[in-house]
Amino acid sequence: MAESESGQEKTEEPTAKRLQDAREKGDIARSKELTTTVLLMAAAAGLMVFGTQIAADLEGMMKYNFALSRQDVFDPALIFRHLGDSAAEMLWSLSGFFLMVVIAALVGPTALGGWNFSSQALAPKFSRINPLAGLKRMFSMKALVELAKALAKFLLVGALCVLILLQQQNDLLAMGYEAVVPAMKHGMEVFGWAFLLMCATLILIAAVDVPFQLYDHNKKLKMTLQEVKDEMKNTEGKPEVKGRIRQLQREMSQRRMMGEVPEADVVITNPTHFSVALKYAEGGEGAPVLVAKGQDQIALKIREVAREHEVAIVEAPALARALYFNTELDEEIPESLFVAVAQVLAYVYQLKRYRQHRGPRPGDLGEIPVPSELRQE
C-alpha cells in the first residue's frame, strides 16, 4: 500500500480538486505507447493510400531530372529551376501523407487525458537532476514496466519481420527481374503492407500500457484520510467561519423579515413563544401570506415592531402554532386554515372600524377552528 511522507497509507481515491490541481500542473495520464502506435498506424495507412501515387510522382520526377542534355547540365539557372520544381512536386505529392501523420501526432497524445496546457509544466524542475532521485526512478516499478515494454516491442516486431521476410521472399526476389517502374510500385506495395503489419503489433503493447498508465496515475494521486479532511477544511472553510457566515445570513434574513411586519394586517401570537405575521390583499385572488414568523426572542421582537406600527396583535395559541409549523415565509397559508384565518381577519377589520368610530365594538374572538391534523401541542 502506498504511503505518504507522514507514514500514513494512501487509501482514499483522489478528490475532484486534487485531480484538477494535478491537471493544472500538467500531471495527467499519458501513454507513450498509444501515441507511438497511433502515429505509426497513420503513417502506414498513409503509405497504403498514397504510396502508389507517390511512386508514380517519383517516376515522373526522375524522368524530368535525368532527361537533361549536356548543355542543360552546365546551365546553373536551369539546374536550380529543376531543383525548385522537383522540390515543389515532391512536397505536393507527400502532402496527403504528411497531413495524416500530423493529424495523428495531434490526436495520439490527447487520446488519453485529453487536451491540456500547463505553464507550470514548462517551469524547470531542479529535482530532475538530483542523482538520488534519478537512481530511485531507474529502479522503480515504472522503470521495470518500461523495460518490459521495450523487450516486448523488440521481440514482437522482430518476430513479425522474420515472418514477413519469409512470406514475401518470392516477391522480393522477383523485383530484381522487373522493370524499374513496376518494381518501384511493387516495392512500395510490399513495404506498405509490411510496415502496417509491424505497426499493428504495437496495438498489443498499447492495450496493456493504457490501463497501467491509468492505474499508476490514480495510485500516484491517492490521498490519506488526513489529506482528504484537510482539503475539505480548506475548500469549505473552517467550522467557526462557516458558523459566522450562517449567523450573518440569519441576521440579514431576520432584518428583512422584520421589515415586512409593518406591512402586515395582523400578528397572531401564542402569546409568548410564537408569533406569525400575515398580510392579505383585500379583494385579491390569493390567500393570506405569512410574511414573518419567529419563536421566543424573535417572536417578542415581531410583537414589538407590530406595536410600534400599530399592527393588530391577536392571541390565538393553537392557530399561531399551526401557522408557524405548517407555513414557510412568503408562502400562502394552508387551505385547511382559511376559515380560521378569515375569522381572525374579520375580527381585525371590525376592530379597526371600531377604532375609527365607524362601527360597534366587536365581541370576543371566540374559539378558532384549527384542524386536528395541524395542531401542534
Mean pLDDT, range 22-33, rounded to an integer: 79
The reported pLDDT for the residue numbered 220 is 83
Query: Which residues are registered as beta bridge partners of 278?
Result: 266, 290
pLDDT in tens, 132-190: 655 666 667 777 877 888 888 888 888 888 888 888 888 777 877 778 777 777 777 77
pLDDT in tens, 208-251: 888 888 888 888 888 888 877 777 777 665 666 667 777 777 77
pTM, to two decimals = 0.48
Mean pLDDT, range 76-100, rounded to an integer: 87
* HEC string for the chain: CCECCCCCECCECCCHHHHHHHHHCCCCCCCHHHHHHHHHHHHHHHHHHHHHHHHHHHHHHHHHHHCCCHHHHCCHHHHHHHHHHHHHHHHHHHHHHHHHHHHHHHHHHHCCCCCCCCHHHHCCCHHHHCHHHHHHHHCCHHHHHHHHHHHHHHHHHHHHHHHHHHHHHHHHHHHHHCCHHHHHHHHHHHHHHHHHHHHHCHHHHHHHHHHHHHHHHHHHHCECHHHHHHHHHHHHCCHHHHHHHHHHHHHHHHHHHHHHHHHCCEEEECCCCEEEEEECCCCCCCCCEEEEEEECHHHHHHHHHHHHCCCEEEECHHHHHHHHHHCCCCEECCHHHHHHHHHHHHHHHHHHHHHCCCCCCCCCCCCCCCCHHHCCC
Whether 364 shows a pLDDT value over 80: the answer reads: no
- In CATH, which superfamily holds the domain spanning 244-374? secretion proteins EscU (3.40.1690.10)
On average, the pLDDT of the chain sits at: 80
Whether 90 shows a pLDDT value over 80: the answer reads: yes
Structural contact between residues 224 and 9, judged by C-beta atoms closer than 8 angstroms: yes
The reported pLDDT for the residue numbered 43 is 87
The reported pLDDT for the residue numbered 277 is 92
293 burial (CB, 10 Å; 0-12 / 13-18 / 19+) is: buried
Nearest in space to 267 (alpha carbons), one of 231, 310, 224, 234:
310
Position with higher pLDDT, 92 vs 367: 92
pLDDT in tens, 266-314: 999 987 789 999 998 766 667 889 999 988 888 999 999 999 988 888 8
Place of cell 392557530: 319
The reported pLDDT for the residue numbered 99 is 92
Could you tell me the residue ranges of all domains in the chain? 16-234, 244-374
Whether 34 shows a pLDDT value over 80: the answer reads: yes
The reported pLDDT for the residue numbered 13 is 81
Task: Give residue 2's pLDDT band: very low, low, confident or very high (50, 70, 90).
Answer: low
How, if at all, do strands 289-295 and 266-269 pair? unpaired
